[in-house]
């Protein structure tokens, strides 16, 4: 079983939709949870960072962590074509693990 | 403040050739990492350096060597390139050692093709 599982998509939504991206994990030692955004032919860039359980909001983006279910989510409100990218979850405890990424396309 | 820089951006090699990928960061980070990214495989850690003077193997180290030249620079060397090493290579850096309260910052990547 992989440490981190992420649905690769692809996910295609109309502009203005609410997007939900998810990851599950198996290691209960993970305490730090991150979301990276990767545009085509670019390096991943850190989008949001959360410690332990709970929610964190930054503009149109909300990161949610449910440690009891070993499940993390990223919500994008009022999605824009500029949000089209691959989104990678990442988490760390003693080691650092990435999900394989979900490809998102927002259609104008 | 350039962040993490990588050279070259693109490279084509023939099987058996050698090359070194260069990485530098200007954020005074302690830790540096080399990943490869392949379709459907996500990011896989090749080597990392938790501090100047130390290096450790990651998930896929075979066929690669690294050098932490100083705190700023971390190079990745392919001694005898193979087609299986065709990939996009990313360097990253972070303030603390691997894991823990840390986030990683990535360079723009090197696209390597081995014929």
pLDDT by residue (tens digit) across B43-98? Answer: 999 999 988 889 999 989 999 999 998 999 999 999 999 999 999 999 999 887 55
CA of A104 vs chain B CAs: smallest distance (Å): 15
String of DSSP letters for A40-98: TTS--EEEEEEESSEEEEETTEEEEEETTTTEEEEEESS--GGG-EEEEEEEESSSEEE
Hey, what are B13's tokens?
């090699």
Q: Is A41 on the interface with B (CB under 8 A)?
A: yes
Q: Is B76 on the interface with A (CB under 8 A)?
A: no
Q: Would you say residue B9 has pLDDT above 80?
A: yes
Contact B58/A97 with Cβ under 8 angstroms?
no
Hey, what are A6's tokens?
């992420």
Calculate the alpha carbon distances from A84 to A76, A99, A103, B99 in Å. 11, 18, 8, 29
By CB atoms closer than 10 A (0-12, 13-18, 19+), residue A106 is buried
Range A29-56 burial, b when 16+ CB lie within 10 A, else e: ebbbbbbbbbeeeebbeebbbbeeeeee
Q: Is A46 on the interface with B (CB under 8 A)?
A: yes
Q: Is B39 on the interface with A (CB under 8 A)?
A: no
Mean pLDDT of the region A74-95: 93
d(CA B44, CA B90): 10
DSSP state of B90: E
Beta bridge partners of A13: A106
Which residue carries 């090493």 as its tokens? B85
pLDDT at B20: 97
pLDDT by residue (tens digit) across A14-71? Answer: 999 999 999 999 988 888 899 999 999 899 999 998 888 889 999 999 999 999 999 9
By CB atoms closer than 10 A (0-12, 13-18, 19+), residue B35 is buried
pLDDT at B67: 96
d(CA B36, CA B18): 17
pLDDT at B100: 52
pLDDT at B80: 96
CB pairs under 8 A between A and B: 50
pLDDT at B85: 97
Distance, C-alpha B33 to centroid of its chain = 5
pLDDT at A31: 85
pLDDT at B97: 57
CA of B109 vs chain A CAs: smallest distance (Å): 6
pLDDT at B42: 85
Q: Which residue has the higher pLDDT, B16 or B52?
A: B16
**Best residue in B3, B36, B39, B42 to probe A by mutation, most A CBs within 10 Å?**
B42
């Amino acid at each position: 079983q992989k440490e981190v599982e992420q649905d690769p998509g692809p996910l295609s939504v109309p502009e203005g939709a609410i997007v939900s991206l998810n990851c599950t994990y198996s290691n209960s030692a993970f305490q730090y949870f991150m979301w990276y955004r990767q545009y085509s032919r670019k390096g991943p860039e850190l989008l949001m960072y959360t410690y332990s359980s709970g929610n964190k909001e930054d503009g149109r983006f909300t990161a949610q962590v449910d440690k009891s279910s070993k499940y993390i989510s990223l919500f994008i409100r009022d999605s824009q074509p500029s949000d089209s990218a691959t989104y990678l979850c990442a988490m760390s405890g003693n080691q650092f693990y990435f999900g394989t990424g979900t490809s998102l396309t927002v259609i104008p | 403040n350039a962040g993490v820089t990588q050279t070259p951006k693109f490279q084509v090699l023939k099987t058996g050739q050698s090359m070194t990928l260069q990485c530098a960061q200007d954020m005074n980070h302690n830790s540096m990492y080399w990943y490869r990214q392949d379709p459907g495989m996500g990011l896989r850690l090749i080597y990392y350096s938790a501090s100047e003077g130390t290096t450790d193997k990651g998930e896929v180290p075979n066929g690669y060597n690294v050098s932490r030249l100083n705190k700023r620079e971390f190079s990745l060397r392919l001694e005898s390139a193979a087609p299986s090493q065709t990939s996009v290579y990313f360097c990253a850096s972070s303030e603390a050692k691997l894991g823990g309260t840390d986030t990683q910052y990535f360079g723009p990547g090197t696209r390597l093709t081995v014929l």
